[in-house]
Structure 1
Amino acid sequence: MDIGMIGLGRMGGNMVQRLREGGHRVVGYDMAADSGRDVDSLSGLVEALPSPRTLWVMVPAGAATDGTIAELSELLDPGDLVIDGGNTRYRDDQRHAKELGRDGIHFMDVGTSGGVWGRECGYALMVGGNDSDFERILPVFETLKPSGDSGLVHAGPVGAGHYVKMIHNGIEYGMMQALGEGYAMMEASDLVECPDRVCDSWREGSVVRSWLLDLLVRALKDDPDLARIAGRAEETGEARWMVQDGLDMGVPLPVTAASLFARQNSQLDDPMTMKVVAALRNQFGGHAVHSERA
């Protein structure tokens, strides 16, 4: 197939390579001149593709995606298809589909997971859109997904792809937090002499074996005490959206919420929450209060 890729970063650039290796003709565009782009503007990208066009958007969620889709709406023709493969909120997908639909432009959302390993191993694709658009772009999905029968799902209408990707990332937050807490407890224990080897042993036969566990073992081999790793982890929005929706729907999400708050707290060098806790302990119990900034 002929397809345009907008955004040639770590995900988009690797997806382009996998598609080209699969025999597709890909025209790439990125704002950065050193990105390996094939054209230097969205208008040039549109002109380089045969009709009906298919364009895959891989830019940050929010203003960047909104602006890209707004510009495309002025350039595309009826029957063209826009795919948002980033981490957009599903409600924004529904708005984008409505806006583009007024001009006869089709829209799909695809939750995409696989990170930097996707080029080699394939991407998990969670698709939202109608049946005919799904069938139209299926050869691209088949190239991007892992080999085998899994890795691709048509989750429902527009918005469903990013909705399940939101939940996927919330689950990911909880799994990563559990691995982090478990390792920290082993590392702090006087009994466990080799927490890294314990994790390695869990990779076979254990009920907690997983790709995330494999990656943790890999990270520990590269940096045994994780000395080069700052104890901070950003939250990218999806778990926050999931917790908000869970509250609206009356679905308890304590693990996802706790892992989200842990990430938010990790961004603070001297979190106010713990300042209050320390101050109260000092007030009622006379516990010492130390501050490097004092």
Structure 2
Amino acid sequence: MDLSEIGLIGLGTMGAALSLNIAEKGFRISVFNRTVSRVDGFLAEAGPLAERITPTRSLEDFVASLAEPRAIILMVPAGEAVDAQIAALRPLLGPDDLIIDAGNANFHDTNRRAAEAVAQGVPFLGIGVSGGEEGARHGPSIMGGGDRANWDRVSHILEAISAKYEGEPCATWMGEGGAGHFVKTVHNGIEYADMQLIAETYGVLRDGMGLSAAECGEVFGRWNDGPLRSYLVEISARVSAATDPETGSPMLDVILDRAGQKGTGRWTVIESQQVGAPVPVIEAAVAARNLSAALETRRAGQELFGAAPQSLPDGTLSLDDLEAAMIAGKIMCYAQGFDLLARTGAQHGWALPMPEIAEVWREGCIIRSDMLNDMAAALRGEPERNLIFADYFADLVARNHVALRKVVSTGALHGLPMPALSAALSYFDMIRTERSTANMLQAQRDFFGAHGFERIDAAGKHHGPWASGQDRP
């Protein structure tokens, strides 16, 4: 039997698609799944690619089928399942055999696993894989983390199976430990926000302007030919145009408005709070998903308070207004994500390759967008600077923020919920306000907790006259 160059454990949707991708690119791969019957079913569905796939029915057979030094990809659910699989594998492996966690792991777990591997003297990688089933099958975006030498061992395979942008692989090494999984986490946080911005705009089209699902699809289709060109706008056009085969109704009209999530957006928000990097558009998107899940609460709210008017008088907003608002909101969202990457990277000692992150996201991943090419160029010039201050994006924001304000204010007056668009506008207004209202916060903190404050006319720590009790009630 010919030994395989790489192995994969976990033949769920993503694992099966990734295995076929690896085989299609000419690499022999061994596969194993805890539910062994899935191995047979997968092989039966592999068609001609089955010639490059070695099915195994035990971990021992799986390990024996791999050429040394071995490289094994794990595509199992994040959390305890990964630790359990590593614990089961390690006794069967040699000291040079590499385990690669390619699941949707929390980067803190990846940091821990990487440290444990170093302590044991064995190699380990944690890689973020984005693009869903289609990306895994035909070319995902891959974000690597761990020891650079371990990445180099398998980079020829990972680059071969990755998406390509003008011939360049969308796969690169991001840094030590959990750097790759962290970059994937922020990708997913941006994804939450980008999707929410689109959903809110769809709400204006549907509820404010009275457009049908098909008409909404036509609008998204037109926008996808302009500055908003992206995978998410493209599929928004397609899902809007789709018809339910069971009822003949627009597909969107029969889908329950309760959004699911796997937690990566929440991880992004938690990390932003840990390092003090504001990501209000992403926070709003996560909160909106949480509120969407509270369906009974929303029904009770409408019954008690009545539905907002929502319908807009003719001419209140134009499609151009909405497109411009989305452009401004999208820039705020991505700027916040890249700011979080820079701050967290610095805290963990990762020299995250900021331009390369934007480039890796240009194809294969869910947030791929034409804007990312310009973001890569901006980050290459000043990787630590907020994207909205880069010349190209500063000009876009200057030309589109008035429309964002018009859309958000119109939504507020007519009861059209816009948490993400509103957060984008508030972020913009705060970031361009030299004299904020935080002086009031500092005065309050000093009054009740004697925390002290800085003065604008003197250095050092100071207290207000209330410290002596003269201004206390």
Same fold (TM over 0.5): yes
Aligned positions, number = 279
Q: Does structure 1 conserve the Cα–Cα contact (< 8 Å) formed by 2:130 and 2:136?
A: no
Question: Larger % of helix: which?
Answer: 2
In 2, distance between residues paired with 1:117 and 1:238?
Answer: 20
Identity of counterpart residues, as a percentage? 34
* Map of 2:236 onto structure 1: 216
Q: What does the per-residue CA deviation read over 1:243-264, in whole Å, with 9 as the maximum and x for residues that have no partner?
A: 1111111111111111111112
Q: 1:226 aligns with which of 252, 255, 258?
A: 252
Q: 1:270 aligns with which of 296, 307, 316?
A: 296
In 2, distance between residues paired with 1:190 and 1:88?
Answer: 41
Cα shift at 1:60: 1.1
Q: Does structure 2 conserve the Cα–Cα contact (< 8 Å) formed by 1:73 and 1:100?
A: no
Q: 1:16-55 residue pairs with structure 2 within 5 A?
A: 16-36=19-39, 38-55=55-72
- The answer to whether structure 1 residue 8 and structure 2 residue 27 are counterparts is no
Cα shift at 1:199: 1.0
In 2, distance between residues paired with 1:257 and 1:221?
Answer: 29
Q: Does structure 2 conserve the Cα–Cα contact (< 8 Å) formed by 1:18 and 1:143?
A: no
* Map of 1:176 onto structure 2: 195
Q: 1:68 aligns with which of 85, 93, 117?
A: 85
CA RMSD in angstroms, aligned pairs only? 2.1
Q: Does structure 1 conserve the Cα–Cα contact (< 8 Å) formed by 2:39 and 2:57?
A: no
Q: What does the per-residue CA deviation read over 1:187-216, in whole Å, with 9 as the maximum and x for residues that have no partner?
A: 113464622211111111x22221111111
Q: SS at the partner of 2:296? A: coil
Structure 1 window deviating more from structure 2 (12-21 vs 39-48): it is 39-48
Unaligned runs of 5+ in 2: 41-54, 244-249, 307-473
Q: 1:68-217 residue pairs with structure 2 within 5 A?
A: 68-119=85-136, 121-147=138-164, 148-190=167-209, 192=211, 194-204=215-225, 206-217=226-237
- The answer to whether structure 1 residue 252 and structure 2 residue 255 are counterparts is no
Q: Does structure 1 conserve the Cα–Cα contact (< 8 Å) formed by 2:114 and 2:178?
A: no
Cα shift at 1:240: 1.0
* Map of 1:240 onto structure 2: 266
Change (3 A) 1:42 1:268: farther
Cα shift at 1:100: 2.8
In 1, distance between residues paired with 2:251 and 2:74?
Answer: 38
Cα shift at 1:55: 0.4
Unaligned runs of 5+ in 1: 283-294
Q: Does structure 2 conserve the Cα–Cα contact (< 8 Å) formed by 1:76 and 1:105?
A: no
Q: Does structure 1 conserve the Cα–Cα contact (< 8 Å) formed by 2:185 and 2:268?
A: yes
* Map of 2:334 onto structure 1: none
In 2, distance between residues paired with 1:196 and 1:175?
Answer: 17
Q: What does the per-residue CA deviation read over 1:42-88, in whole Å, with 9 as the maximum and x for residues that have no partner?
A: 23211221221100011111121121112122222101101011111
1:57 maps to a residue whose letter is L
Q: What does the per-residue CA deviation read over 1:263-284, in whole Å, with 9 as the maximum and x for residues that have no partner?
A: 122223313x7757976x59xx
Q: Bigger radius of gyration, 1 or 2?
A: 2
In 2, distance between residues paired with 1:23 and 1:228?
Answer: 43
Cα shift at 1:22: 1.1
Structure 1 window deviating more from structure 2 (111-120 vs 12-21): it is 111-120
Cα shift at 1:121: 3.7
Q: TM-score, length-normalised on structure 1?
A: 0.88
In 2, distance between residues paired with 1:33 and 1:266?
Answer: 38
